[in-house]
Amino acid sequence: MRASVVSPLLALLLMSAPAMAGRGMASDEPPHWVVSEVREVDRLQGRLVLTDGKEVWATNPQQLDQLVEGSRVRLRFEIFNGRRMIYSVERLGS
């Protein structure tokens, strides 16, 4: 009886670890700091394209409020499931 209860619980535990990892619970890499210029602001998708071609994605739509094409920015992003997610963004200059 004990083995019949333990086996399904162990299987559930082992299957849940990869599932949780696939949901972006932890960063794939340490945070990155970048100073760059904005080439494109896509508010509909919550995405910035920087002058070096990197795409970064807002975690909150308000992160893009003060940004326009040509804005110089300092941003910190973390990579979750292969996507660069904005952790913080600051517009530099006027």
pLDDT of residue 21: 46
**CA distances for 10 relative to 5, 22, 81, 84, angstroms:** 9, 19, 26, 34
What's the pLDDT tens digit per position in 1-47?
A: 555 555 565 555 555 444 444 444 455 667 889 999 999 999 999 99
Whether residue 67 contacts residue 47, with contact meaning beta carbons closer than 8 Å, is answered with no
Q: Which tokens is 92 given? A: 């530099």
**pLDDT per residue as tens digits for the range 38-85:** 999 999 999 999 999 999 999 999 999 999 999 999 999 999 888 999
Q: For residue 74, how many C-alpha atoms fall within 13 Å in the half-sphere facing its CB?
A: 4
Question: Which tokens in the block code for residue 2?
Answer: 């004990």
